[in-house]
Amino acid sequence: MTHTTKRIIMNNIVMTLSTISAVIGMGFLFWILGILVINGVDALTWTIFSQEGAPPGYENSGLKHALIGQLLIVGAATVVGVPLGILAGTYLSEYGQKAKLAETIRDISDIMMSAPSIVIGAFVYAVVVAPMGHFSGWAGSIALTIIMLPIILRTTDDMLNLVPSTLREAAFALGAPKYKVIIQVVYRGAKAGILTGILLGVARVAGETAPLLFTSFNDNFLNTDMNEPMASLTVTMYNYATSPYEDWQKLGWAAAFILSMFILTLNILGKLFLLKKKGR
């Protein structure tokens, strides 16, 4: 057998193994997606949106409390986190640039993006929940804001960086002050990118469970007072899925389906925005 024949055989072996691993990997992942859709669609009814939680065994139980709680907690985190993140990202790209301080902030943010989120929950418990004496929707929002900040900051930084410097220089040459150049020229040029960053940031925190376990905690009934413990889809999923009651488990799957579809939609939208920008 010549050396080249050996190489070809080796090549075929490795390529087959690689294809098999791709099939195995995709198989597992589609399995998960499949059961998510089957169980989710099966459990999806109108009462899920119209009814609050109820003790196991009650017919009229839904996820209204968790959906509204989720909206409030993630919404508040977005309202606070997005402008802060964009401003901080603006500093990095437009003022700090390659300075040591800016580089340090970038490095720390990159690390924070992969840091364990449950630790953020512990931190917020110590500085918000413990002093207040009780869990609250606000505490959950604060935890999510902390997780969202570095994501928005780094995407904004990167996206502003893609705006050609000639564009800035042209605006400066017309005598515009820096903040106007940034707001009117740079932001406009990076609009699609910043929007993608926001969508991905929201998608990321919307799926967080661990940091909410001991901040917003849970509530089986509808509550819109963010000073009180509050239900979220993720914590509700966790509690219902680990309960021994079949109807609760079913609600858990419905929550998993709704949440996953929401997050996937945000991700797809984000990718489309970026594609559209590249196409131009």
Partner 1 sequence: MATIINIKEESVLDVKDFQFTYAGNDAPSVNKTTMPIAKNSITALIGPSGCGKTTLLRCFNRMHDLYPDNRYDGEILFKGRNILQAKEDLINLRIQIGMIFQKPTAFPMSIFDNIAYGMRLQGMKNKTELQDRVEKALKDAAIWKEVKDRLKADANGLSGGQQQRLCIARAIAVEPEVLLFDEPTSALDPISTAGIEELVVELKDRVSIIIVTHNMQQAARVSDYTGFMYLGDLIELGKTEDMFVTPKEKLTEEYITGKFG
Partner 2 sequence: MSIILDKIFAHTSKFIAVSILLLVAWIFTVLLQHSMESITALGFDFVTETKWAPNLEKFGALPAIYGSVVSTFLAMILAVPLAIGVAIYLSELAPAKLKTPVGVSIELLAAIPSVVYGMWGLFYFVPIVRDLVGGIGISMLTAGIVLSIMILPFMAAVTRDAMDTTPDILKESAYALGGTRWDVIKDIIIPYAKAGIIGSLILALGRAIGETMAVTFVMGNVHQISMDLTLPATSIPVTLANEFTEASSGLYYSSLFQLSLLLLVISFTIISIAKFYFLRRKRVGL
Q: Which does 3 bind (CB under 5 to 8 A by kind): partner 1, partner 2, none?
A: partner 1
Q: Which does 264 bind (CB under 5 to 8 A by kind): partner 2, partner 1, none?
A: partner 2
Closer CB to partner 2, residue 6 or residue 50? 6
Shortest gap between Cβ of 272 and partner 1 (angstroms)?
22
Question: Are 257 and 39 spatial neighbours (Cβ–Cβ below 8 Å)?
Answer: yes
Q: Which does 148 bind (CB under 5 to 8 A by kind): partner 2, partner 1, none?
A: none
Residues engaged in binding partner 1 (CB under 8 A): 2-4, 6-8
Shortest gap between Cβ of 252 and partner 2 (angstroms)?
7
Shortest gap between Cβ of 8 and partner 1 (angstroms)?
7
Q: Which does 20 bind (CB under 5 to 8 A by kind): partner 2, partner 1, none?
A: partner 2
Q: Which does 6 bind (CB under 5 to 8 A by kind): partner 1, partner 2, none?
A: partner 1
Closer CB to partner 2, residue 69 or residue 89? 89
Q: What are phi and psi of 80, to 5 degrees?
A: -85, -45
Closer CB to partner 2, residue 60 or residue 98? 98
Shortest gap between Cβ of 9 and partner 1 (angstroms)?
12
Shortest gap between Cβ of 150 and partner 2 (angstroms)?
7
